[in-house]
Amino acid sequence: MASGNLFRLLLRGWNIPLFVFTVGCTLVYLLNFENAHVLQRNEGCSLLSETHFVLYSKRVVTPAGIGPYAVEVEGERIISMTKRSEAPKSAGGKPRVLDYGNAVIMPGLIDAHVHINEPGRTEWEGFLTGTMAAAAGGTTTIVDMPLNNHPTTTTKEHLEEKKEAAKGKLYVDTGFWGGLVPENAHNASVLEDLFEAGALGLKAFLCPSGIDDFPAVTAKQIKASLPVLAKYRRPVLVHQEVTDPSAVPSDLMPGEPQSNARDYMRYLSSRPLSWEREGVRQLMEVAKDTKPGGVAEGAHVHVVHLTDAEDSLDHVKAAKAEGSSVTVETCPHYLSFAAEDVPEGATQYKCAPPLRDARHRELLWKALLNGDIDMITTDHSPSTLALKLLEEGDFLKAWGGISGIQFSLPATWSHGHARGMTIEQLSKRWSTVPAKMVNLPRKGSLEFGKDADIVVWDPEASFFINSTYPIYFKNKVAPYIGHRYSGKVITTFVRGRQVFEEGRHAKKPCGAMINPVLIIERSGNELLN
Ligand SMILES: *[C@@H]1O[C@H](CO)[C@@H](O)[C@H](O)[C@H]1NC(C)=O
Ligand SMILES: *[C@@H]1O[C@H](CO)[C@@H](O)[C@H](O)[C@H]1NC(C)=O
Ligand SMILES: [Zn+2]
């Protein structure tokens, strides 16, 4: 049997949980999607009634570049990609052709850093509202952080609780990170149980997380977890600031009385760049174990929300050059805003590490455009409006976290286009690289056999996010409100289901929980470049 036919056969054999096959010498794994069975359009999972259709536009983002393509979708997969200068005509209406003209058809965004907070703090955000906002923003996969939900996702039991809470509430495909804390860092069996239960990797903090039941670890504790991560070929994602009170004037330490706590600059100087630099330095030291032949070869170290494209990024670049398996992300808010522009008391701009000045923002853009920063995530980290202390405007006491999951595309594109970013670069940093870092080989690009995870958007359409703009995440406070953007999402497909189209969602959330059954052979950073 020709391998193409075998592949088609495998694609159709969806209920069989595991197939492994070899392509060249690369071992590829297939994901086992809980909840995902045969398409259930008639049950309201899709706004389209068809399960076989063709999307067409003049600007389709493919691994071979942008061009006019017909993207044929059957069931949950892309079954053909055909370059052609005009939309195909459907014979007798089958398959239906959706012609999007000059709009961009692109792989859905993969947001590997999202705080959903359910169970335990569902009033901050929940799976339903968080994934509705993701779908409206063109994001087709999220990976949920192990905090600020309660209990935190540091054991198999807690992960099972979270999966139970997520059931029937997912508009997009959703994976879960486990939590690395002092209590489990030296306990391989707890970590292995987490991976067996579906955790895609671990998240750790080198400084207090802001949540008491998710304490910081030391670099040494991260090092101790690497051999277990290596065995399962998973990444550890690390919040890179290391608290160093000696680097901060004493009256600026959290908890100390403030003369002008409504001044963003006071908050900024309470979390100096030196914290981030020291954290990344320590992390790149332990990441040496991930080198080929190292004791943790196969493990991967990922630096989250980088704000410092100077010394911190130099540590990451040196580690890559030495062969350590490392990557780094930044977020749209660091690429959008500058400390000196934050209005007095505007705590919707508070996050950690803090937004830095315009010079640092431009350095981040430079590093993103030249590929030194590998990928982008939102770090969507909401809380209730009350905890943002919007009236009081106290930057030191307010919750530190920015909501942005619905605005990834317009924020990245508006600021990126102005600096020469291409649509292909945007797609690589939001889809292709995250798919590799998270280990999602069926996602991240538009190709034959891949999941039909697709966003259609208009880069030229501009809009203003005002107080009546339809925001789908739960607590409608975000620094993006009050700004004009270009880059409007027209429609979003998750595994062939049309889940969002301008202002409306499918009746029923039918996203799947991602559960890896066998992990791809990692070859360090080669995969990512
Ligand atoms: C690991 O944690 C489990 C569950 O809490 C406990 O039973 C076991 O003794 C621990 N193992 C080690 C080596 O600490
Ligand atoms: C928000 O913007 C929309 C579209 O531009 C406009 O129709 C609406 O009146 C605005 N709402 C407010 C409160 O400014
Ligand atoms: Zn976060």
The pLDDT score that the predictor gives to residue 309 is: 98
- Whether residue 220 is predicted with pLDDT greater than 90 in this model: the reply is yes
The reply to whether 296 and 402 lie within a common domain is yes
Neighbours of ion ligand 3 (CB under 5 A): 379
- Whether residue 30 is predicted with pLDDT greater than 80 in this model: the reply is no
Q: For residues 10 and 235, what is the distance between their CA atoms, to the nearest angstrom?
A: 28
The pLDDT score that the predictor gives to residue 247 is: 84
Q: Which domain holds residue 185?
A: 108-446+461-483
Output the CA angle 201-168-36, nearest 5 degrees.
70
- Whether residue 10 is predicted with pLDDT greater than 70 in this model: the reply is no
Q: Please state the domain count of the chain.
A: 2
Which of 183, 187, 194 to probe ligand 1 with, by most ligand atoms within 8 A of CB? 187
Query: Would you place residue 42 in the very low, low, confident or very high pLDDT band (cuts 50, 70, 90)?
Result: low
Look at residue 275 and tell me if it is in a domain.
yes
The pLDDT score that the predictor gives to residue 215 is: 97
Q: Which two tokens stand for residue 4?
A: 């193409």
Look at residue 370 and tell me if it is in a domain.
yes
Residue type (1 letter), 466: N
Query: Would you place residue 516 in the very low, low, confident or very high pLDDT band (cuts 50, 70, 90)?
Result: confident
The reply to whether 266 and 281 lie within a common domain is yes
Q: For residues 265 and 358, what is the distance between their CA atoms, to the nearest angstrom?
A: 13
The pLDDT score that the predictor gives to residue 93 is: 75
Number of H helices, E strands in the chain: 14, 22
What contacts 418, CB < 8 A, 6 or more positions away? none
Give the residues across from 74 on adjacent strands.
52, 77
Work out the number of other CB atoms within 10 angstroms of the CB of residue 360. Answer: 18
The reply to whether 472 and 501 lie within a common domain is no
Look at residue 201 and tell me if it is in a domain.
yes
The pLDDT score that the predictor gives to residue 276 is: 98
The reply to whether 293 and 395 lie within a common domain is yes
Look at residue 520 and tell me if it is in a domain.
no
The pLDDT score that the predictor gives to residue 467 is: 86
The reply to whether 478 and 387 lie within a common domain is yes
Query: For atom 1 of ligand 1, which residue has the closest CA?
Result: 187
Query: Which ligand 2 atom minimizes the distance to the CA of 463?
Result: 5
Query: For atom 14 of ligand 2, which residue has the closest CA?
Result: 466
Look at residue 528 and tell me if it is in a domain.
no
The reply to whether 353 and 392 lie within a common domain is yes
Look at residue 529 and tell me if it is in a domain.
no
Between 6 and 348, the higher pLDDT residue: 348
**Percentage of residues in the chain having pLDDT higher than 90:** 84
Query: Would you place residue 521 in the very low, low, confident or very high pLDDT band (cuts 50, 70, 90)?
Result: very low
Work out the number of other CB atoms within 10 angstroms of the CB of residue 232. Answer: 21
CATH of the domain at 96: 2.30.40.10
- DSSP alpha helices (H): ranges in 370-445? 408-417, 423-427, 433-438
Query: For atom 11 of ligand 1, which residue has the closest CA?
Result: 187
CATH of the domain at 181: 3.20.20.140
- Whether residue 27 is predicted with pLDDT greater than 50 in this model: the reply is no
Q: For residues 421 and 416, what is the distance between their CA atoms, to the nearest angstrom?
A: 5
Rounded mean pLDDT, 405-410: 98
Contact between 142 and 131 under an 8 Å Cβ cutoff? The reply is yes
Rounded mean pLDDT, 255-265: 77
232: left (phi over 0), alpha (psi -120 to 50) or beta: alpha
Q: Ligand 1 centre and the CA of 23: distance in Å?
A: 40
Query: In whole numbers, what is the pLDDT of the chain averaged over residues?
Result: 90
Q: At 486, which helix (H) or strand (E)?
A: strand 484-494
Q: Ligand 3 centre and the CA of 205: distance in Å?
A: 10
The pLDDT score that the predictor gives to residue 8 is: 40
Work out the number of other CB atoms within 10 angstroms of the CB of residue 357. Answer: 13
- The two most distant CA atoms of the chain are separated, in Å, by 76
Task: Give the β-pairing of 178-179 and 326-330.
Answer: unpaired
Tens of pLDDT along 300-355?
Answer: 999 999 999 999 999 999 999 999 999 999 999 999 999 999 999 999 999 999 99
- Whether residue 96 is predicted with pLDDT greater than 50 in this model: the reply is yes
Which of 157, 158, 189 to probe ligand 1 with, by most ligand atoms within 8 A of CB? 189
Query: For atom 6 of ligand 2, which residue has the closest CA?
Result: 468
The reply to whether 289 and 399 lie within a common domain is yes
Q: How many residues does the chain have?
A: 529
* Pocket (CB within 6 angstroms of ligand 2): 464, 466-468
- Whether residue 525 is predicted with pLDDT greater than 50 in this model: the reply is no
Q: Is 187 in the pocket of ligand 1 (CB under 6 A)?
A: yes
The pLDDT score that the predictor gives to residue 257 is: 58
The reply to whether 58 and 196 lie within a common domain is no
C-alpha distance from residue 69 to each of 85, 393, 447, 511 (Å): 8, 50, 11, 26
The reply to whether 214 and 310 lie within a common domain is yes
Q: Which residue has the tokens 């982008």?
A: 376
Going by the DSSP 8-state scheme, the letter that residue 297 receives in this structure is B
Is the peptide bond preceding residue 151 cis, with omega within 30 degrees of 0?
A: yes
Look at the alpha carbons of 61, 65, 68, 70 in this order and tell me if their dihedral is positive or negative: negative
The reply to whether 428 and 511 lie within a common domain is no
Instruction: Please give the distance of CA 356 from its chain centroid, rounded to a whole number.
Output: 22
Query: Would you place residue 254 in the very low, low, confident or very high pLDDT band (cuts 50, 70, 90)?
Result: low
Q: Ligand 1 centre and the CA of 187: distance in Å?
A: 6
At 194 the three-state DSSP class reads: helix
Look at residue 23 and tell me if it is in a domain.
yes
Work out the number of other CB atoms within 10 angstroms of the CB of residue 483. Answer: 16
The pLDDT score that the predictor gives to residue 258 is: 55
Query: Which ligand 2 atom minimizes the distance to the CA of 467?
Result: 13
The reply to whether 392 and 421 lie within a common domain is yes
Q: What φ, ψ does residue 59 adopt, rounded to 5°?
A: -130, 85
The reply to whether 71 and 81 lie within a common domain is yes
Query: For atom 8 of ligand 2, which residue has the closest CA?
Result: 468
Using alpha carbons, select from 394, 385, 390, 387 the residue that is nearest to residue 473.
Answer: 385
Q: Ligand 3 centre and the CA of 65: distance in Å?
A: 32
Q: For residues 413 and 399, what is the distance between their CA atoms, to the nearest angstrom?
A: 27
Q: For residues 62 and 53, what is the distance between their CA atoms, to the nearest angstrom?
A: 18
Q: Ligand 2 centre and the CA of 229: distance in Å?
A: 49
The pLDDT score that the predictor gives to residue 251 is: 63
- For 156-165, 241-250, 346-355, 498-507, which range has the lowest pLDDT when averaged over its residues? 241-250
234 CB-side CA count, 13 A: 29
The pLDDT score that the predictor gives to residue 259 is: 65
Rounded mean pLDDT, 31-35: 40
Q: At what angle do helices 358-369 and 408-417 cross, to 10 degrees?
A: 90
